């Protein structure tokens, strides 16, 4: 019982982010599971999904699966997305904000201007990134029960020009303004995985020789400038944070100390918090782990704490309540941010804070949700039949799609598919 009491006391305590107080330290991370309308507005299911997690006790909700520019809307590998790129969407975003507030949680918008190295060439446009380096999906391994037969390499992006970088920054600032106008309590600029801003942070993806490449200070420049511009737009009291990668987990890649050094340059522009994101699309097994506390075991929050001081740090993939509470008590982090676990049990936060950990429905890391997301099938959770159906009118996957999701997680079938894919004639260019 003492273990439960300790975890509930720590995770149930309030957290100050700039001028905003969050009621507890259990946060819903951004996920592309909201199923917005085809034109990018929050749907009844989008709102119902977030409202259900807010009622389940989380202190803060992050809205993911969103885009901050028309570029991102056009190049997205999954669709549709929630749109922050035009003023006409602000009233619809405000309805979503009001629903989450009414359910008792704060809400932040993830500002996401470009998919970078993961962007899909479409409608005559080509993705941009720090350097023209493609992504070898899962090069260092895939998560459990996730397979990509034959492998996949993304098209090399075009190296972003100074004008491109300035335009992305302008899109970020405009989206942050819209988020504030819609009533969001704060914003987070996405600089994780293999997306646009993340492509600048590590020498593994950034081969530039200009003011945006080379030293840690130069690699921080694009994101630092974006933070400074957003801060100037929203004012000193509005929470502004970043989500950034903390470890490449790749041969020749950058480790936590290197990313933390970059972060130390960025936070000087006015960062209120950092959401720590493990690995990237080339090291997906580390990004979507099957054990709690991977990030702590690798020393990543510890490295960031040493580099950025007391700026709030948010853990990821640490669903073990005591483990997360111990990390917070030790000063390594300030909150725990969860994704898959809150699909499986939307009441996780209430159960932890009330000392009812024995009642938690645990994510089993079968990753059927991820297979659905990767194939653009409505996301569901086999541990929680109500997930994806929070709104009674929500679109559901078909029986055929369900069979496909099962088959896509079957090791034997995927081995056969992999052999066949690798043996197939390669298209000529």
Distance, CA of 41 to CA of 405 (rounded, Å): 27
- Rounded to 5°, the CA angle 312-8-277 comes to 35
pLDDT for res 285: 87
279 or 423, which is more confident: 279
Query: Beta strand pairing status for 66-67 and 240-245?
Result: unpaired
Q: Residue range 161-172: average pLDDT?
A: 98
**Average pLDDT of the segment spanning 92-114:** 98
Measured between its terminal Cα atoms, the distance across the chain in Å is 64
Does residue 3 register a pLDDT over 60?
no
pLDDT, average across residues 394-398: 92
pLDDT in tens, 247-287: 999 999 999 999 999 999 999 999 999 999 999 999 988 98
| Averaged pLDDT, 73-86 | 95
Q: Which carries the bigger pLDDT value, residue 418 or residue 156?
A: 156
Torsion sign (Cα): 56, 60, 66, 72 = negative
CATH no. of 2-366: 3.20.20.70
d(CA 67, CA 196): 12
Confidence band of 428 (pLDDT split at 50, 70, 90): low
Mean pLDDT confidence for 403-428: 85
Angle at 260 between CA 258 and CA 266, to 5 degrees: 115
Structure tokens given for 35:
């199923």
Q: Is the peptide bond before 80 cis (omega within 30 degrees of 0)?
A: yes
Residue 105 three-state SS:
coil
Rounding to the nearest 10 degrees, give the CA dihedral for residues 375, 31, 111, 37: 60
How do the domains of the chain map onto residue ranges? Answer: 2-366
Question: pLDDT grade, residue 427 (50/70/90)?
Answer: low
pLDDT top residue among 95 and 252: 95
Q: Are strands 20-22 and 15-17 parallel, antiparallel or unpaired?
A: antiparallel
Angle between helices 300-308 and 256-266 (to 10 degrees): 30
Q: What is the mean pLDDT of residues 173-184?
A: 98
Cα 216 from Cα 262, distance rounded (Å) = 5
Other Cβ atoms less than 10 A from the Cβ of 58: the count is 31
* Residue 1, pLDDT score: 39
Residue 329 — φ and ψ, nearest 5°?
-65, -35
| Cα distance between residue 123 and residue 127, in whole Å | 11
- Computed over its alpha carbons, how large is the radius of gyration of the chain? 20
HSE toward the beta carbon, residue 427, CA cutoff 13 A: 1
Q: Which of 350, 392, 377, 319 is nearest to 29 (CA)?
A: 319
Mean pLDDT of 201-207: 97
Q: What is the per-residue pLDDT for 50? A: 98
Q: Of 419 and 199, which is predicted with more confidence?
A: 199
* Token duo for residue 301: 């929050």
CB 247 within 8 A of CB 194: no
């Amino acid at each position: 019982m003492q273990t439960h009491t300790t975890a509930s006391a720590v995770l149930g305590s309030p957290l100050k982010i700039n001028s905003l107080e969050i009621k507890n330290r259990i946060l819903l991370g951004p996920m592309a599971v909201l199923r917005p309308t085809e034109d990018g507005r929050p749907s009844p299911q989008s709102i119902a999904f977030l409202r259900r997690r807010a009622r389940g006790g989380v202190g803060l909700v992050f809205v993911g699966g969103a885009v901050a520019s028309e570029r991102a809307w056009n190049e997205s590998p999954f669709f549709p997305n929630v749109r922050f790129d035009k003023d006409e969407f602000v009233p619809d975003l405000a309805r979503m904000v009001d629903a989450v507030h009414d359910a008792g949680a704060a809400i932040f918008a993830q500002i996401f201007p470009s998919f970078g190295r993961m962007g899909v060439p479409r409608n005559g446009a080509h993705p941009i990134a720090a350097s023209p380096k493609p992504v070898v999906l899962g090069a260092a391994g895939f998560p459990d029960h996730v397979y990509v037969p034959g492998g996949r390499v993304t098209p090399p992006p075009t190296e972003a020009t100074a004008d491109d970088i300035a335009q992305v920054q302008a899109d970020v600032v405009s989206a942050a303004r819209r988020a504030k106008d819609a009533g969001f309590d704060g914003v987070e600029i996405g600089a994780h995985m293999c997306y646009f801003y993340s492509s600048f942070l590590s020498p593994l993806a950034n081969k530039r020789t200009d003011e945006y490449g080379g030293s840690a200070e130069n690699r921080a420049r694009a994101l630092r400038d974006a933070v400074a511009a957003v801060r100037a737009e929203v004012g000193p009291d509005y929470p502004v944070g970043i989500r950034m990668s903390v470890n490449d987990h790749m041969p020749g890649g950058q480790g936590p100390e290197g990313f933390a050094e970059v972060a130390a340059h960025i936070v000087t522009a006015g960062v209120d918090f950092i959401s720590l994101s493990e690995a990237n699309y080339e090291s997906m097994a580390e990004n979507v782990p099957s054990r709690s506390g991977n990030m702590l075991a690798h020393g990543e929050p510890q490295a960031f704490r040493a580099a950025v001081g007391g700026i709030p740090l948010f853990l990821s993939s640490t669903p073990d309540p005591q483990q997360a509470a111990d990390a917070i008590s030790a000063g390594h982090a300030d909150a725990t941010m969860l994704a898959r676990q809150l699909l499986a049990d939307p009441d996780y936060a209430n159960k932890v804070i009330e000392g009812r950990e024995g009642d938690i429905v645990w994510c089993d890391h079968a990753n059927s949700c991820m297979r659905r997301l990767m194939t653009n099938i409505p996301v569901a959770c086999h541990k929680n039949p109500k997930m994806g159906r929070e709104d009674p009118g929500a679109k559901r996957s078909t029986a055929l799609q369900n069979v496909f999701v099962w088959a896509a997680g079957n090791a034997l079938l995927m081995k056969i598919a992999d052999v066949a894919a690798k043996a197939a004639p390669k298209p000529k260019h």
